[in-house]
Amino acid sequence: MPSNTSSLIDLDRAHLIHPVAPWRKHEQRGVTVLESGHGAWLKDAAGNELLDAFAGLWCVNVGYGQESVVQAATAQMRKLPYATGYFHFGSEPAIQLAAKLVEIAPPSLKHVYLTLGGSEAIDAAVRLIVHYYNATGRPGKKQFISLERGYHGSSSTGAGLTALPVFHRGFDLPRPEQHYIASPYLYRSPEGSTAQSVIDASVQSLRAKVASLGADNVAAFFCEPIQGSGGVIVPPTGWLKAMRQACTELGILFVVDEVITGFGRTGPMFACQAEGVEPDLMTMAKGLTSGYAPMGALMMSDAVYAGIADGAAPGVPIGHGATYSAHPVSAAIALEVIRIYQEGGMLAHAQKVAPHFAQGLDALTAHPLVGEARHRGLLGALELVSNKTTKAGFDPALGLSDLLFETGYRNGLVFRSFGDNILGFAPALCYTEGEFSQLFRRLEKTLDEVL
Ligand code: PLP
């Protein structure tokens, strides 16, 4: 390892706090410094070439090293590196981006608030929904419902809609107004469950939860079209549409969190478009800029926008915003990234190669460790079991998750594990057929080595 790298590791140990890491364990293990990337490939500071099967953190959809994105960013930095979106100022890329998002999103969404990432988009959604109900004379509607195993970021409100224990433990979450219903998880549903019974159970749980809270008290239901960090839980086709319908009937807002599933990850530009679903609000980030700069967005319907806009006394600001909202460099990057998806043909390419991803995952169900493969587009997972009949998982004391990650890394593959049983994959949309073959060769070798 170059001596510069070992001093970096010491500096990291001493000073840098890593997101969602066990702090003391991280100090012992030491950081893995990533140095460069090209296409689907990463190189670390020790010179290892790695096939990235997770697009960074499910975000680098267009792949690393896209020169036109770099050019769009530098051109905007030279021209105008910063313009506030506060008050009545704006910048051309931010305005063009808002118009572009309205063009490519479901037709119900007409207004765009540009944030720094997904957590801030969720936080904005919660704050503005509260504001909306206050402004429209329904101040009782303050209860929020989301899914068990859901992930909606780690802002102080969003982390409570997230239903993963590490985001709650020690943080006094969830808040009393945050509630969950079971996720549409067919593999772990009772024996004899079907796609339809899973959909019916979700609708029934939502209705029961709203009834127990009182419909006049419930503000909104938040969900991911496919739960990502909860273990890539792919619901049956028709689930999202059924939940939309239920929210309409219950008189609560339907918020779709497309932070992972947006921008071609599951096939269409947004996952909800596969079922013609039109949310009241929608959040996005990650693939919006493909990770080349931080940015997220909250989109909303005319009705929600108008409720807030017209509820304020004339001339009184709606007090929500940040210095870097609608940042022009991030917006210029997002516009170029979306151009690559569309005119650059990357979405079409991803749809064309997705069957290789699906076949590779499905083939691994023959492996003794794999209980289920699930996928949609270029988002997928393997659920590992110690017994395929009982579907029993592994004892956390075995530390399988760390072992798989380290073994995969030694085999030149980066993916992610969730708990001790689930391996997640989100390859960049630029993957070639040959890269899928390499991914699955390396993955099979990894599974064989931990067996
Ligand atoms: N929502 C979902 C579905 C996510 O997966 C994430 C991040 O992984 C977020 C929200 C939070 O986004 P960010 O990490 O950009 O704050």
Per DSSP, the three-state class of 403 is: helix
Confidence of residue 6 (pLDDT cuts 50, 70, 90): confident
pLDDT score at 87 = 83
Asked if the model's pLDDT at residue 5 lies above 90, the reply is: no
Nearest CA to ligand 1 atom 7: 153
pLDDT digits (tens, 9 = 90+) for 327-341: 999 999 999 999 999
Neighbouring C-beta atoms of residue 99, cutoff 10 Å:
10
Ligand 1, from 58, 120, 286, 298: best to mutate by most atoms within 8 Å of Cβ? Answer: 286
Give pLDDT, residue 446.
98
Q: Render pLDDT for 353-393 as a digit per residue (tens, 0 to 9).
A: 999 999 999 999 999 999 999 999 999 999 999 999 999 99
Q: How far is the CA of 20 from the centre of ligand 1 (A)?
A: 12
- Per-domain boundaries in the chain: 32-53+345-450, 69-342
For residue 168, what pLDDT is reported?
98
**At 322, which helix (H) or strand (E)?**
none
Average pLDDT rounded to a whole number, residues 78-99:
96
Pocket test for ligand 1, best of 115, 152, 295, 330 (most atoms within 8 A of CB): 152
Instruction: Work out the pLDDT band at 314, boundaries 50, 70, 90.
Output: confident
CA of 316 to the centre of ligand 1 (A): 31
Strand order in the sheet with 416-418: 370-376, 379-384, 422-425, 416-418
The whole-angstrom separation of Cα 129 and Cα 305 is 10
Residue 223 near residue 234, CB atoms below 8 Å: no
Residue with the smallest CA separation from ligand 1 atom 9 is 153
**Nearest Cα residue to atom 12 of ligand 1:** 118
Atom of ligand 1 nearest to the CA of 116: 15
Whether 215 shows a pLDDT value over 90: the answer reads yes
In this predicted structure, the answer to whether residue 145 has a pLDDT above a threshold of 70 is yes
Give the range among 116-130, 156-170, 305-319, 425-439 with minimum mean pLDDT. 305-319
Which is it for strands 143-147 and 218-223: parallel, antiparallel or unpaired?
parallel
* 69-342 maps to CATH 3.40.640.10: yes
Cα–ligand 1 centroid distance for 259 (angstroms): 6
Superfamily of domain 32-53+345-450, CATH level 4: Aspartate Aminotransferase, domain 1 (3.90.1150.10)
Model confidence at 3: pLDDT above 80: no
- Report how far ligand 1's centroid is from the alpha carbon of 403 (Å): 25
Residues 330/253, Cβ–Cβ less than 8 Å: no
Q: What is the mean pLDDT of residues 7-36?
A: 96
Cβ < 6 A, ligand 1 pocket? 117-119, 122, 151-153, 224, 228-229, 257, 259-260, 285, 296
Proportion of the chain above pLDDT 90, given as a percent: 95
Query: Ligand 1 centre and the CA of 228: distance in Å?
Result: 9
Give the residue, by CA position, lying nearest to ligand 1 atom 1: 152
Give me the mean pLDDT over the 26-31 stretch. 96
Count other Cβ atoms within 10 Å, centred on residue 243: 25
Look over the chain and give the mean of its residue pLDDT values, rounded to a whole number.
97
Mean pLDDT of 257-269: 98
pLDDT score recorded for residue 420: 79
**Confidence band, pLDDT 50/70/90 cuts, at residue 2:** low
One-letter amino acid of 272: C
Whether residue 1 is predicted with pLDDT greater than 70 in this model: the reply is no
Q: Once rounded to an integer, what is the mean pLDDT over residues 134-159?
A: 98
pLDDT at 4: 80
pLDDT mean over 405-429: 96
In DSSP notation, 144-194 reads EEEETT----SSTTHHHHS--GGGTTTTT-S-TTEEEE----GGGS-TT--
